[in-house]
Amino acid sequence: MFEGDFHQFQNLIVKVTCFDGREYTGVATSFRDHDDTSLPGSDCICFYESNTGRRADFFRAEIKDITIVCPTKQFIEQVDGAA
């Protein structure tokens, strides 16, 4: 189970690798956090698929690893603007 903070991946293009071998690459668009009423590992990182209008959700319990592929243009502009 992935132990890191999902929010660190906001505005980044990431690759999610699951224990069952599935992989997904995209920009993390939203997060659902674990709370007192949910099961451990049920929080998730979500991706909006603009070509289909659907969301791809990956739950913490099924994620083996998340790697940063590259920052998005919006992220680069935020960093350049802050300098």
For the chain, helix, strand, coil in percent to 5 are 20, 45, 35
pTM: 0.70
d(CA 25, CA 82): 27
- Write out pLDDT tens, residues 7-61: 788 878 899 999 999 999 988 887 776 665 666 666 888 888 778 888 888 888 8
Domains of the chain and CATH, by start: 6-82 (2.30.30.100)
Q: What was the pLDDT predicted at 65?
A: 93
| pLDDT at res. 40 | 64
2, HSE (Cβ side, Cα atoms, 13 Å): 22
Q: At 1, which helix (H) or strand (E)?
A: none
